[in-house]
Amino acid sequence: DAKTTQPTSMDCAEGRAANLPCNHSTISGNEYVYWYRQIHSQGPQYIIHGLKNNETNEMASLIITEDRKSSTLILPHATLRDTAVYYCIVRAPNTGTASKLTFGTGTRLQVTL
């Protein structure tokens, strides 16, 4: 699976948009970009994923550059409950069965008052 690079930590004021960048310059054409987050002492929570088009759901937006070498996760109105470690993962598909996720070190987002 392609390697990802994320900043170690970021701060965001509550109510503001949190923009979390991720570099994945070696991504292959069939690999998806996934975002998960992990709140302390819990299992990771799925946020969003995409292949090449921008995606939006009730939690966040995912912006993928045209060359697919980087992406940005946007939390439009961060709250204190969004404080977590955010993982950007490039996932290679299997044929027929679910493929694994390989976690990097992620970005620790601290949302402050």
Residue 92 in 3-state DSSP? Answer: coil
CA nearest to 61, candidates 70, 69, 71: 71
| Contact pick of 103, 110, 112, 113 for other proteins (by CB under 8 A) | 103
What is the pattern of x (binds other proteins, CB under 8 A) and - over residues 34-53?
Answer: x-x-x--xxxxxx--x----
Stretch of 5-13, 14-22, 30-38, 73-81 lying at the interface with other proteins (CB under 8 A): 30-38
Residues contacting residue 98 through CB under 8 Å, at least 6 positions apart: none
Q: Least CB distance from residue 103 to other proteins, whole Å? A: 4
Q: Least CB distance from residue 25 to other proteins, whole Å? A: 20
**29: contact with other proteins by CB under 8 A:** no
What are the DSSP calls for 33-81, one per residue? EEEEEE-TTS--EEEEEESSS-EE-SS-EEEE-TTSSEEEEEETT--GG
**95: contact with other proteins by CB under 8 A:** yes
Q: Which residues bind other proteins (CB under 8 A)?
A: 32, 34, 36, 38, 41-46, 49, 87, 91, 93-106
